[in-house]
Structures are given as structure tokens and as C-alpha cells.
Structure 1
Amino acid sequence: MLELRPNCECCDRDLPPESPEAVICSFECTFCVDCRDGVLGGTCPNCGGELVRRPVRPAGKLEKFPASTVRKVKAGGCQPAF
């Protein structure tokens, strides 16, 4: 099950579970679309994978399967790795 991380790892922007602005790679690294389209150029700086829109978990399922509250932020911001 996806963690649905609460923020962008680059800019620390809030990305609630219902946000259409959240993108992830296959390892669930989480970023906002602005960082994806800007500094990251569509590629995860951690693994080099594609960043795609994160699915939205239906609100009725969030109570039983809550989103993560653990924030991850890259020290020094993001730099394209690949």
C-alpha cells in the first residue's frame, strides 16, 4: 500500500492525500509537480526513475488506511541526479 507521504522532498510543500499535485517514482519518493517540471526535469533525483501522478486514496479509506505523517526533505534541496 502506498504511504502517501505528506510533502515534497525538494521544497517541503504540503501534499495532502487528495492532492493532484503529488508525483511519485516507483520507490514512492514524493515530489510536487512544480519541482518535477522544474529542477528535476521529470526524473527522480534519488533513483533516476520516472515521476508520475500519485493516485488518490478514496476519502472513505483514509480512516482505516491513513496517509503517512513522516516528512522527508532533501538536505540542501534537490539537484538533478541523472
Structure 2
Amino acid sequence: MELRPNCECCGKDLPPHATDANICTYECTFCDACVTDRLGGVCPNCGGNLERRPIRTALQLARHPASTERVVRAQCP
């Protein structure tokens, strides 16, 4: 899992320990506010549902670091 560093809709930072990060099956990443207020719980990229992203422990992060590549959609509903 990549653990992308930001919301693809609003750009909000979502570090690996963020409790308000949501992902779809393709790991598209969005914050709680965008999922609720703009996306209706549906990924705008694949049409799948969005679920809470799991938290990776410090030991796991040391072995498998989070991604630093930011992804932002050109348009978000």
C-alpha cells in the first residue's frame, strides 16, 4: 500500500498516521471532508466505495515507507 500523502481532491496533507484518510481499492486517497461533502462516499476515479485507510505502525513504516508523491485531480466534484 502506497499511503499517499494528500487528499486528491483538496490537497490536504494526510500523513501515514492520519485518521481522516480514505482510500478506494486502487488507493486513490481522499480526506473525510471531501468524501462526505463532495464525493458522497464514491471514488471519482473508479466509481468504487471509499473506506478508512489503515494506519501503518512505526516499525512497518521503517520497512515500507509511505509515498511522498502528491496526486491532485484537475477537477473534483
TM-score normalised by the chain length of structure 2: 0.97
Q: Higher helix fraction: Structure 1 or Structure 2?
A: 2
* 1:15 paired to 2:10: no
Kindly report which structure 2 residues correspond to 1:1-82, keeping only aligned pairs within 5 A, or say none: 2-76=1-75, 78-79=76-77
Q: What count of residue pairs does the alignment treat as equivalent?
A: 77
Alignment RMSD, CA only? 0.7
TM-score normalised by the chain length of structure 1: 0.91
Ranges in structure 2 where 5+ consecutive residues have no aligned partner: none
- Percent identity for Structure 1 against Structure 2: 60
After the TM superposition, which parts of structure 1 deviate over 4 Å for at least 4 consecutive aligned residues?
none
Ranges in structure 1 where 5+ consecutive residues have no aligned partner: none
Deviation (angstroms), 1:72? 0.2
